[in-house]
């Protein structure tokens, strides 16, 4: 249910009938309102008229590439888009996420993973809408707390001292918890759009953050690496 007490609506843009049927049945059984399209143009038309709460998008569509669908959607809507694709190449994933997708699931996938990703995206979208109306609540996960209003990070109730860059990185990840943020996105947000494409400075800062907040940086609890793509922060309580 969304904040108005209505069933969440999902638009599925997928040309393979068997996958479309599997996803539709799975979502209907979980009480989602589902609408489907088999092509990009039809999907864009339905997105405009149907105004879904979330879009599931295959990249390999018969009439247009899914990347173009994302580009056109982002010209007028911030609706969460989860890519579902057989393209498993890391560069393809990063390209889709940098292009405006919110998440990326590689085929084949199970219903449990799909539903979890949908719940996370819908929850995150709702939080972003709430942020525009009220002060953002602190981030809590395990023993880690980030108070955005006071700019204070605590672990086990002890204040963690971060540099300005480290704090900006950590809060950016926390405000998007559960979502993969690509190297490019993080570099541009923290160091600006004209920064060097070499992400070594990002990796150094992330290593420093992990040393300060993780019990064992090699097996993190809070900040996870999506190899070749970026970083994902554990979803807050």
- CATH assignment of the domain containing 98: 3.40.50.2300
Residues 143, 209 share a domain: yes
Give the pLDDT of residue 78.
Answer: 82
**Does 56 have pLDDT greater than 90?**
yes
Give the pLDDT of residue 90.
Answer: 85
User: Under a CB-based contact definition with an 8 Å cutoff, are residues 11 and 46 in contact?
Assistant: yes
Residues 217, 182 share a domain: yes
Residues 71, 95 share a domain: yes
Look at the block and give the residue holding tokens 């150094």: 204
Determine, yes or no, domain membership for 200: yes
CA torsion sign for 76, 34, 7, 120 is negative
Name the token pair of 57: 């998008």
Order of strands, sheet of 139-141, starting from the edge strand that comes earlier in the sequence: 139-141, 144-147, 152-155, 158-159
The last residue of a domain, from among 101, 131, 161 = 131
| Range with lowest mean pLDDT among 10-14, 34-38, 76-80, 197-201 | 197-201
Nearest to 147 by CA among 182, 105, 175: 175
Domain that holds residue 183: 139-233
More confident residue, 61 or 201: 61
For residue 224, what are the contacts with CB-CB under 8 A and spacing of at least 6? 231, 232, 233, 234
Give the pLDDT of residue 133.
Answer: 40
Determine, yes or no, domain membership for 2: no
Residues 177, 126 share a domain: no
Residues 174, 65 share a domain: no
Residues 125, 147 share a domain: no
Determine, yes or no, domain membership for 3: no
CA distance 31 to 41: 27
Residues 161, 114 share a domain: no
The last residue of a domain, from among 131, 156, 180 = 131
| Range with lowest mean pLDDT among 6-15, 123-132, 190-199 | 123-132
Provide the number of structural domains found in the chain: 2
Q: Which pLDDT tens digit goes with each residue over 99-157? A: 889 899 998 889 999 999 999 888 877 766 555 444 578 999 999 999 988 889 999 99
Residues 171, 117 share a domain: no
Give the pLDDT of residue 6.
Answer: 59
The last residue of a domain, from among 63, 98, 131 = 131
């Amino acid at each position: 249910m969304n904040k108005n007490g209505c069933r969440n609506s999902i638009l599925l843009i997928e040309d393979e009938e068997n996958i479309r049927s599997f996803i539709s049945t799975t979502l209907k059984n979980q009480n989602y309102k589902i609408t489907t399209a088999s092509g990009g143009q039809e999907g864009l038309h339905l997105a405009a008229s149907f105004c879904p709460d979330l879009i599931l998008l295959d990249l390999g569509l018969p009439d247009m590439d899914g990347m173009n669908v994302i580009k056109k959607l982002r010209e007028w809507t911030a609706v969460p888009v989860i890519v579902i694709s057989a393209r498993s190449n890391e560069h393809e994933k990063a390209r889709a996420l940098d292009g405006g997708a919110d998440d990326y699931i590689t085929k084949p996938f199970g219903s449990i993973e799909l539903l979890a990703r949908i719940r996370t995206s819908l929850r995150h979208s709702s939080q972003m809408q709430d942020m525009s109306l009220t002060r953002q609540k602190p981030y809590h996960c395990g023993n880690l707390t980030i108070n955005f209003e006071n700019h204070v990070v605590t672990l086990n109730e002890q204040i963690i001292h971060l540099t300005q860059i480290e704090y900006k990185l950590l809060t950016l990840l926390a405000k998007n918890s559960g979502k993969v943020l690509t190297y490019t996105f993080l570099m541009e947000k923290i160091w600006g759009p004209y920064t060097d494409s070499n992400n070594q400075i990002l990796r150094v800062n992330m290593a420093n953050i992990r040393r300060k907040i993780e019990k064992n940086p090699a097996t993190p609890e809070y900040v996870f690496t999506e190899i070749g793509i970026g970083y994902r922060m554990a979803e807050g309580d």
